[in-house]
Chains A and B, each alone.
Chain A
Amino acid sequence: MSELNYVGKSVKRKDGPDKVTGKAVYTQDVRLPNTLIGRILRSPHPHARILRIDTSRARALPGVKAVITVEDTKGIKHGFVETPRYPPDQEVLARGKVVHVGEEIAALAAVDQITAQKALGLIDIEWEILPAVFEPEDAMRPGAPEIHPNHPKAPREFANIGGTTETQWGDIEKGFAESDYVREDRFECQLRTHGYLEPHVTLAHWESDKLNVWTSSMGVFVKRAKLAKVLDLPYSSVRIHKTYVGGTFGGKIDLYSHEYCASRLSMITGRPVQITASREEIFSAYRHAQPLILEIKTGVKKDGTLVAQRIRAINNAGAFRGSGVVVIFLAWGFTMIPYRIPNLKYEGFSVYTNHTVRAPQRGHGAPKVRFAIESQMDMIAEALGIDPITIRMRNAREPGEQLPNGDNTHRGGLAACVALAAEKSDFLAKVGRDRASPPKGTLRRGIGIGASAYMGGTLIYPNGSAVIVKMNDDGSAIVLTGAIDIGQGSETVISQIVAEELSIGMDDVKIISSDTDTTPQDIGAWISGMTYVTGNAARQAAGRAREKLLQVASEKMGAEVENLVLKDKMVYHRLNPELKMSYREVIAASVATHRGDTIIGEGFWRTMRDEPTHPSLATTKGRWTENYAFSAQVAEVEVDIETGEARLVKALTVHDCGFPINPQLVKGQVDGQISMALGHAFMEEVLTKDGYTLNPNWLDYRMPTIHNMAISEDADVITEQYRVGQPYRTKEVGEGLISGILAAMGNAVYDATGVRLYSTPFSAEKILAGLRALEYAAKKVRSASKAPA
């Protein structure tokens, strides 16, 4: 096969120039005449019954054009998950009671912000305050305030269970009995948020029979499906338009109330309605990630071989089901992928509490699960007197292994990543160094490793992507794709593939994207599958156009297709380069001799073409994907043992993304995840008290700045390749790399100080407390040994 010209190259981003020059149009930039401002009235209580709502004073205020409550809706529910076991559970506006602070109760549209604000203050509500509960283990206890009834299939002894996941294989008790060493630990994580810089914003405009919507999202087809459903409109009456998106990280997937409200208010008033969430609303009323409690019992042989593992995951899922039941399902997966565990029992509980609803956040549970498992892995290794690399190599999955769910690791595998990470970081030479011989001063260095794996492109609505490539008669191409570029670079990657398949320039490819009316259906940018699924669809579409070009050229040139080569918008005869045609000529010939065929190629793709549907959230039965990405990450941290202040100094990421279609974009993903992980490790926490958010702003919720970024090195373990005209297999690289490094940082803090941290963030306060406890223990040992016999 000849050299690749675009795929595998760090070509410039398609969206780069528009973004850096400020030309890119985001939702907030879209202007329509006569637009009304929408605002939402939110609950001031974590749990309360609404006895009466009176909107008459708000309606009467001059400048207010419409006010809606749940009575103005069709009462159709929606949910992140909508299955027979987990039917939709959430109304677009509160009915009868509120279950979290900030829950949407009413919405209104007014001529300007000040009027809208005044009108909100004129809505009267009579409340009956209900007891509320915020910690999942409190909420699970029988007799706890009931937020929603227990799920009918949940164990009777609990309360407020939104859903459960249970699975097991082997014989767990036998496994523990056969183990040489067993330990049990409990890990917890703080509440974190996505930190997308563009707020949630929606502009809706109803035109006699069509609802036009511009909204900041991660997938326009999911939005259309959910919005059309709650509005009771056919899909053909709802059009989600393309806009640039300023970050999402999982926080813009599901339907949000403001999207419904803007739409409904526009339908009532006949005018465009825009609703922009303030940053405070995003922090205190919108969705955050899911704090998990993980209890892990693990049994191993003397040499570190895993024999049995029992995991109990409890998710503080907030006030509706949200993606809470997905996280407890995924937590199982993040447990079973990287290492071989012959006997396993897993149970996960998604528990309602009076917190805001939860959403996926980059990694969707994996960082928390891997933090727990990889921390415990190091504890086990230490107890057994083996090093962190050996214990991981001993258990790491190899290529071609069958996973418990029937999937296969194919050419991927963790072992190669761990080995390379250890070598590149000089891990074994560094580990334990500062504790063995503490350097002068108060700074201690530590090194730690963490491993992870992530799946790509799992089936979930709309399950597949299609792409259309239209040749222009000058030989350039227009690509129609539903893929949404949320900053990850999908338009660039798709262009590279199309340019490669068609042998045209990057500038010859123009993308029309993420518009539900003009582009074909797409899976969306939220299940780590776009490069693989939509990319293969694009490859196929461009490939079909190429085949047509070759066919017409072969007829015209009187040559076999096998003897034709494509280069720079020209078709050449392989043996006689004098014999050639430009694409322009070929396309003209196609129109002339093929009944007007202007050359259009179609492609479509999905993961696991033989699997009808996604696996069961409750039992985990069913296959996931053919694409698992494995990774091992090493962190080097520095801790001041006098102040407890710690920072990530250097990160090494060794990952298997199949092969990088655009290495620079892969590097961007790696670095972005390192930065997010160090925020998780050392800085970020949404502080809440009784369901109220204490730090709903960028000053008091500390995300890392560029100055906090550590040195980030990475290495690809290339397991796949790209060939023109052939399907390819790329793997996840956009969200799985927070996990290993987070765990690695925890392990590195331990390596530096001897302080084992069981919860994130690794605050100075916790590290100091740990150091004090160590000092105290050491003193006790000293005084005991001094005591007279």
Chain B
Amino acid sequence: MILFDFDYERADTLEQAVALLARLQGDARALAGGTDLLPGMRMENIRPGLLVSLSGIEPEAPQVLADGSIRIDALTRLATLENSELVRRVVPMLAQSAHVVGGNQIRQMGTLGGNLCQEVRCLHLDQKHDYQFVAPCYKRGGTCCYPFPRNAPEVCWSVYMSDIAPALIALNAQVEILGETGTRRIDVEALFTGNGLKPLALSQAELLRAVLIPAAAPGFTWGFHKSTVRGGLEFGMAVLAVALQLAEDGRTCTDARIVVGAVREGPVRPVAAERSLIGKTLDEERMEQAAADTSRVVNPLPHHGFSKRHLMDNIRVHLRRTLARALQRARDQEAGR
């Protein structure tokens, strides 16, 4: 139950929503599926004076544009993403990453835009503060950090746990952002600041309108893995997304994008590890090395009871397997052709 008063408006268009958000400045929030925002309000981590509901705006169906890229409305429900025949065919990694989010009820309500714009998580943050952790931490505008007491006030080591963001970054996707002065387009990767206190590079009156994913070139293959304890209905302990471009021989890598999510303030790309694969034959050893390098440079934050060492172990093994699976997928596709 949300135990404070707030106003509620329903926008008919995204433009209207932006205008409403702009008018109230810092005190208004967009409400999409509410699966992230409402728990945050219940815990009083955020206390907006106005909710601008987007639920009256019908999302456009996913569509393939003339250049072969696919455009997906930010208001698309995750259940639609995972079940859309088009999405599953054209961007299966996106469908897969939507499928592993929460449970079915969450996916029925949650939207793509809300997923990308979800709050960072920390055990000390994600609860009511009636009698536990009462003094606000940095993230809540206070003067302490519970798990990392030596951190400077501008450092919040909470983790950003969207399952979909790593997949989109690996896919080199862009977001279309609507603001008061019109739309702008940035890489999904650029949406994340890496700062736990303000994880998104969006201003108060900006909303995501759509996600655009470039067409896959021949030789494209992918791998996705979410590490969990019980295999579902939980946030990841680490999320791995891999997109590879293979030469005609099916073994030489011409481009690689690796993204690790859920272990830092935003998704992380281990650029050096990616580079170590490019122009090389992807054999066991090389993939093993890239995975080991990644687990090191990503430097996971201990979170949700998992130690840094264990997260590094987990990323190392599962990233190697995810790379191998991507390669295998390419082979299977080749064989199936």
Instruction: Please give the residue numbers on chain A whose beta carbons come within 8 Å of chain B beta carbons, in ascending order.
Output: 42-44, 101-102, 113-114, 117, 120, 278, 280, 284-285, 642-644, 682-683, 685, 687, 689, 692-697, 699-700, 702, 704-705, 707-708, 764-765, 768
Q: How many angstroms between the C-alpha atoms of A680 and B29 in the bound complex?
A: 40
Could you mark each residue 1-12 of chain B with 1 if its beta carbon is under 8 Å from any beta carbon of chain A, else 0? Answer: 101110000000
Would you call B132 and A693 a contact (CB within 8 A)? Answer: yes
A702 and B132 in contact, given A694-B123, A765-B310 (Cβ under 8 angstroms): no
Stretch at the interface among B211-219, B251-259, B311-319: B311-319
Most buried by A among B3, B131, B314: B131
Q: Does B127 contact A (CB under 8 A)?
A: yes
Q: Which of chain B's residues has its CB closest to A39's CB?
A: B130
Q: How many angstroms between the C-alpha atoms of A284 and B235 in the bound complex?
A: 21
Would you call B126 and A697 a contact (CB within 8 A)? Answer: yes
Q: Does B296 contact A (CB under 8 A)?
A: no
Residues of B within 8 A of A284 (CB): 127, 131-132
Residues of A within 8 A of B131 (CB): 42-44, 101-102, 284-285
A697 and B234 in contact, given A101-B132, A685-B305, A692-B132 (Cβ under 8 angstroms): no
- CB proximity of B169 to chain A, nearest CB, Å: 24
- CB proximity of A680 to chain B, nearest CB, Å: 13
Q: How many angstroms between the C-alpha atoms of A280 and B313 in the bound complex?
A: 32
A700 and B132 in contact, given A114-B3, A117-B3, A705-B232 (Cβ under 8 angstroms): no
Q: How many angstroms between the C-alpha atoms of A697 and B127 in the bound complex?
A: 8
Q: How many angstroms between the C-alpha atoms of A687 and B302 in the bound complex?
A: 14
- Interface residues in B, total, Cβ within 8 A: 32
Q: Which of chain A's residues has its CB closest to B228's CB?
A: A702
Most buried by A among B3, B146, B307: B3
Q: How many angstroms between the C-alpha atoms of A670 and B133 in the bound complex?
A: 40
Interchain CB contact (< 8 A) of A702 among B123, B130, B134, B230: B230
Residues of B within 8 A of A692 (CB): 132-133
A705 and B230 in contact, given A114-B4, A643-B317 (Cβ under 8 angstroms): yes
Q: Which of chain A's residues has its CB closest to B5's CB?
A: A114
State the 6 A-B residue pairs at the shortest beta-carbon distance, nearest first: A117-B3, A694-B123, A765-B310, A44-B131, A42-B131, A642-B317
Q: How many angstroms between the C-alpha atoms of A399 and B262 in the bound complex?
A: 56
Q: Which of chain A's residues has its CB closest to B309's CB?
A: A765
Would you call A708 and B231 a contact (CB within 8 A)? Answer: yes
Q: How many angstroms between the C-alpha atoms of A696 and B131 in the bound complex?
A: 13
A696 and B230 in contact, given A117-B3, A643-B314, A643-B317 (Cβ under 8 angstroms): no
Residues of A within 8 A of B124 (CB): 694
Residues of B within 8 A of A120 (CB): 130
Would you call B3 and A695 a contact (CB within 8 A)? Answer: no
Could you mark each residue 113-135 of chain B with 1 if its beta carbon is under 8 Å from any beta carbon of chain A, else 0? Answer: 00000000001101110111110
Residues of B within 8 A of A696 (CB): 127, 132
Q: Does B66 contact A (CB under 8 A)?
A: no
Residues of B within 8 A of A699 (CB): 233-235
Would you call A682 and B229 a contact (CB within 8 A)? Answer: yes
Could you mark each residue 273-302 of chain B with 1 if its beta carbon is under 8 Å from any beta carbon of chain A, else 0? Answer: 000000000000000000000000000000
A113 and B230 in contact, given A102-B131, A685-B305, A692-B132 (Cβ under 8 angstroms): no
A683 and B230 in contact, given A120-B130, A693-B132, A765-B307 (Cβ under 8 angstroms): yes
17 CB contacts below 8 A, A to B, read A102-B131, A102-B132, A280-B127, A280-B128, A284-B127, A285-B131, A682-B230, A683-B230, A692-B132, A693-B132, A696-B127, A700-B126, A704-B230, A764-B229, A765-B307, A765-B309, A765-B310
Q: How many angstroms between the C-alpha atoms of A693 and B123 in the bound complex?
A: 9
Q: How many angstroms between the C-alpha atoms of A268 and B317 in the bound complex?
A: 63
- Of residues 82 to 133 in B, which have CB atoms within 8 Å of A's CB atoms? 123-124, 126-128, 130-133
Would you call A42 and B231 a contact (CB within 8 A)? Answer: no
Q: Which of chain B's residues has its CB closest to A442's CB?
A: B317
- CB proximity of A582 to chain B, nearest CB, Å: 53
- CB proximity of B98 to chain A, nearest CB, Å: 18
Q: How many angstroms between the C-alpha atoms of A695 and B127 in the bound complex?
A: 8
- CB proximity of A78 to chain B, nearest CB, Å: 23
Supply 16 further A-B pairs (C-beta < 8 A) apart from A120-B130, A694-B124: A101-B131, A113-B3, A114-B4, A117-B3, A278-B128, A643-B318, A644-B313, A682-B230, A687-B305, A692-B132, A699-B235, A700-B126, A700-B305, A707-B232, A765-B309, A765-B310
Q: How many angstroms between the C-alpha atoms of A600 and B231 in the bound complex?
A: 55
- CB proximity of B37 to chain A, nearest CB, Å: 16
Interchain CB contact (< 8 A) of A44 among B5, B127, B132, B318: B132
Residues of A within 8 A of B5 (CB): 114
Q: How many angstroms between the C-alpha atoms of A643 and B322 in the bound complex?
A: 13
- CB proximity of A305 to chain B, nearest CB, Å: 41
Q: Does B325 contact A (CB under 8 A)?
A: no
- CB proximity of B9 to chain A, nearest CB, Å: 21
Q: Which of chain A's residues has its CB closest to B233's CB?
A: A705
Residues of A within 8 A of B314 (CB): 643, 764
